[in-house]
Amino acid sequence: MGFFELFSATLAALYAVVPNYGVAIILLTLLVRVVLLPLTIKQTRSMREMQMIQPEVKRIQAKYKGNRQKMNEEMMALYKEHGVNPLGGCLPLLLQMPVFIALFNVLRQPLAYMGFEASNGSGWNPVQGLSGIMRNVQDSSLAHGLAEVPDKVNGFLHVMRLDCTATSTLPFGDAMNPAGPASSCSQGWISAIPYVLLIALMGASTMYSQKQLQASRPGGSPNDAAAQQQQLMMKIMPLMFVVFGFGFPAGLTLYWTTSNLWTIVQQAMMIRLVPHKELPAKPKGKDGDGAAAGGAEPKTGAKAQKGGGGGGATKAKSANASRKRQGGKKKKR
């Protein structure tokens, strides 16, 4: 059983529990995100660590403003010291790409990964001699439903087919949908509206989740190459998914939109649960402290001198008064 067959088998198992193809795709999405949850938590902590070292990052950027190579070396050393990755926010997204590619193929031609092969006509025939898990997938209700009543199984919310692309529903044909006959998808502009709305929701949720992640981080310097790359990716990715989304099967668009909604909720919770930390303020240098101490000492000495002078004058006055009193006594005698 290959990598693609792993997802077809998971879909078949979920469909056996909930006999709705769209709901099975949503449950598969949630399952994938639960598997990635430990990595996402680690990524969120790394993001908080990035926030904590921002004062030091800004100090390095100001100190090496005219030397980009030295700045990048110091920044990399700082990241290594604190164990953070400036592009760590993209890691969970990158790990979803193999799943995305697998589902792209499985949802376009699901029976090809469920133990069936295309016949000379337009149907699918079961492959003989399968055993183990693939035999169970071949005998699953999802596989039989896709082979016998594909329109019913692929229908979702009575407004779309999960194996159709937005392009295939437009009047110019089914150029990007090999999963079924052209007449099942090419039904005119009105029928394309649900597909276009789903694509728009996918693009909007992708953009919002990226901005949500960016808003929880302090702004980087324009000279920070990592920040520049991340901001560029955040701008391009939503647009890229919208453009390519017209060629995605609706089931794949549903998967990505569900994943985005999970990300939005998860990030909101993680940002709230993982507190923001800051580096402790550095103490003043010893030279500054010594200067302050040195400046205080003369002042103290001056006070001592003044105090000493005052005591001497008092003693002299007492001695003069005593002499006068003694002189007065002698005159009386």
259 within a domain of the structure (yes/no): yes
pLDDT at 66 (0 to 100): 86
User: Does residue 165 sit in helix, strand or coil?
Assistant: strand
CA–CA distance, 330 with 333 (Å, rounded to integer)? 5
160 within a domain of the structure (yes/no): yes
pLDDT tens digits for range 33-78 = 999 888 877 777 777 777 778 788 888 888 888 888 988 898 888 8
| Cα–chain center distance at 174 | 36
DSSP 65: T
Spans in the chain with pLDDT lower than 70: 86-93, 121-122, 172-183, 186, 216-230, 274-333
Collect all residues with Cβ–Cβ distance below 8 Å to 266 and sequence separation of at least 6: 33, 37, 40
62 within a domain of the structure (yes/no): yes
Q: Are 45 and 274 in contact (CB under 8 A)?
A: yes
Give the DSSP per-residue string, 157-202: TTTEETT-BTGGGSTT--TT-TTS-GGGT---HHHHHHHHHHHHHH
112 within a domain of the structure (yes/no): yes
Residue whose token pair is 């090999």: 178
Residue numbers of the domain that contains 225: 3-273
310 within a domain of the structure (yes/no): no
pLDDT at 40 (0 to 100): 79
pLDDT at 332 (0 to 100): 46
pLDDT at 139 (0 to 100): 95
The structure's pTM equals 0.72
Residue 234: C-alpha distances to residues 47, 230, 264 (Å):
16, 6, 15
264 within a domain of the structure (yes/no): yes
123 within a domain of the structure (yes/no): yes
pLDDT at 295 (0 to 100): 42
Domain count, the chain: 1
166 within a domain of the structure (yes/no): yes
